[in-house]
């Protein structure tokens, strides 16, 4: 099957050579081709270039993209889209001024979501989750990571991961699964956190690894959740079972989790709303991708990750939604990109790089998606007619996505 896009106003994020990720000043460079063509063969990008060099070959479909742009789909490297129900009931408490921690102490928070999930069947959980997955694809996401962490028992954590496995089988975009058993200390272990850590290490991790249900392991490293030394133990145990570390860290406090993440060779460390200069220095010249989640800062009213400062210090940065019921109930990457520009002072070029190439790296998918490169999956966004790609973040709360293609197949 051969599909040819012709007369593309601008083909964005064109990379001749595959690259792992981009950092610092290079993040402000977004290579494009104006007046371009793009050829897709059997779901893979096979050729692109200036329209004047467009090949005259037999195709199955030709799409005239006059006035429109094409870019790789968003790579959302941090979500929790498998959850039961929602936490709408906390919304008004939050508006009235209760903090994330106060809501959790009142019986809301992660433990509330865990109770709901434990009482939801795998089938119902799948049905609720697939609606969210379809919604994010329609908004331009073409690769996604999904975490467990609302089960908090062996049975329910596996239930979540099996739902992710089923989503993977049913949908053709790349999906990576992360085991986040250490997301919160369950009620039953309130006065014996150590016993829960033992359960995670000795029972859950081996089960997850045996059924090959996850590629990554994550921990919520935060005051009141899992300490830096708990995090280290859990990540090391995961590594022994072939799981690659990621962490939720520095959301509310800088407690040394960044250093542990780097020491454990975490693929990504995520949140980073509170960053000390030492945290920034620790990340320099490492392979660990810092991931900002501006939707969470927006929703909780907490500081934004100092993305400007981090990029100026030479670091790479990825952007993700954190789509979850408690701190970011939206999976809209277009909004995330706008918010990164408006609130974190990223340029549109930096934000688009962070949401494509660097997001792909944060999921270990840099060879498959994240740029317009020959051989990569044809997961692309065809925009509405727009004047420049700056219009994508500029028109916040709107979507410039006209059609999404996954492996060259039209989705909306």
Nearer residue to Fe ion within complex by CB, 90 or 322: 322
- 250-253: which pairs have CB atoms within 8 A and are 24 or more residues apart? 250/274, 250/275, 250/279, 251/222, 251/296, 251/302, 252/100, 252/101, 252/222, 252/223, 252/302, 253/222, 253/223
Nearer residue to Fe ion within complex by CB, 244 or 392: 244
**How far is Cα 54 from Cα 342, in angstroms, rounded to an integer?**
37
Nearer residue to ligand NIG within complex by CB, 110 or 357: 110
Out of 113, 129, 297, 377, point to the residue binding ligand NIG (CB under 6 A). Answer: 113
Q: How far is the CB of 221 from Fe ion (least distance, A)?
A: 12
Q: How far is the CB of 83 from ligand NIG (least distance, A)?
A: 7
- Two structure tokens written together for 42: 């059997």
Out of 126, 220, 226, 361, point to the residue binding ligand NIG (CB under 6 A). Answer: 220
Q: Is 109 in the site for ligand NIG (CB under 6 A)?
A: yes
Residues of the shown chain interacting with Fe ion in the complex, contacts defined by CB under 5 A: 322
Nearer residue to ligand NIG within complex by CB, 161 or 381: 161
The position carrying tokens 């986040």 is 180
Q: Is 325 in the site for ligand NIG (CB under 6 A)?
A: yes
Number of residues binding to ligand NIG, judged by CB under 6 A: 12
Q: How far is the CB of 251 from ligand NIG (least distance, A)?
A: 5
Q: Is 218 in the site for ligand NIG (CB under 6 A)?
A: no
Q: How far is CA 46 from the centre of its chain?
A: 26
Nearer residue to ligand NIG within complex by CB, 23 or 141: 141
Out of 246, 248, 368, 376, point to the residue binding ligand NIG (CB under 6 A). Answer: 248
Where do contacts with ligand NIG occur on this chain (CB under 6 A)?
109-110, 113, 220, 248, 251, 296, 322, 324-327
């Amino acid at each position: 099957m051969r599909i040819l896009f012709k007369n593309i106003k601008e083909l964005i994020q064109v990379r001749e050579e595959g690259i792992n990720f981009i950092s610092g000043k290079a993040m402000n460079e977004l290579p494009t081709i104006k007046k371009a063509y793009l050829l897709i063969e059997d779901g893979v990008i096979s050729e692109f270039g200036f329209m004047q060099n467009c090949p005259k070959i037999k195709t199955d479909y030709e799409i005239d993209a006059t006035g429109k742009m094409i870019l790789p789909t968003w790579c959302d490297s941090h979500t929790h889209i498998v959850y039961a129900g929602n936490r709408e009931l906390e919304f008004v408490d939050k508006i009235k001024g209760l903090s994330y921690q106060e809501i959790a102490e009142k019986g809301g928070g992660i433990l509330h979501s865990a109770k709901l999930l434990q009482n939801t069947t795998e089938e119902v959980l799948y049905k609720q989750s697939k609606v969210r997955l379809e919604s994010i694809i329609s908004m331009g996401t073409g690769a996604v990571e999904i975490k467990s962490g609302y089960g908090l028992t062996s049975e329910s954590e596996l239930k979540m991961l099996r739902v992710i496995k089923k989503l993977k089988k049913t949908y053709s975009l790349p999906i990576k699964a992360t085991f986040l058993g250490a997301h919160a200390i369950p009620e039953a272990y309130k006065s014996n956190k150590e016993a829960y850590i033992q359960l995670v290490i000795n029972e859950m991790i081996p089960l997850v690894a045996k059924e090959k249900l996850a590629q990554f392991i994550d921990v919520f490293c935060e005051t009141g959740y899992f300490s830096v030394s708990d995090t280290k133990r859990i990540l090391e145990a995961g590594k022994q079972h072939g799981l690659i570390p990621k962490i939720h860290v520095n959301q509310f406090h800088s407690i040394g989790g960044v250093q542990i993440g780097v020491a454990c060779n975490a693929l990504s460390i995520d949140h980073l709303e509170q960053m000390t200069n030492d945290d920034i220095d620790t990340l320099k010249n490492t392979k660990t991708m810092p991931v900002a989640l501006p939707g969470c800062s927006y929703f909780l009213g907490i500081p934004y990750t100092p993305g400007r400062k981090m990029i100026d210090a030479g670091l790479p940065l990825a952007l993700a939604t954190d789509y979850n019921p408690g701190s970011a109930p939206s999976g809209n990457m277009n909004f995330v990109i706008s918010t990164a520009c408006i609130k974190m002072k990223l340029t549109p070029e930096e934000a688009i790089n962070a949401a494509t190439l660097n997001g792909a790296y944060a999921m270990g998918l840099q060879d498959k998606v994240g740029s317009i490169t020959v051989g990569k999956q044809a997961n692309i966004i065809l925009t509405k007619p727009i004047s420049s790609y700056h219009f994508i973040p500029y028109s916040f709360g709107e979507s410039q996505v006209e059609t999404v293609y996954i492996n060259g197949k039209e989705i909306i």
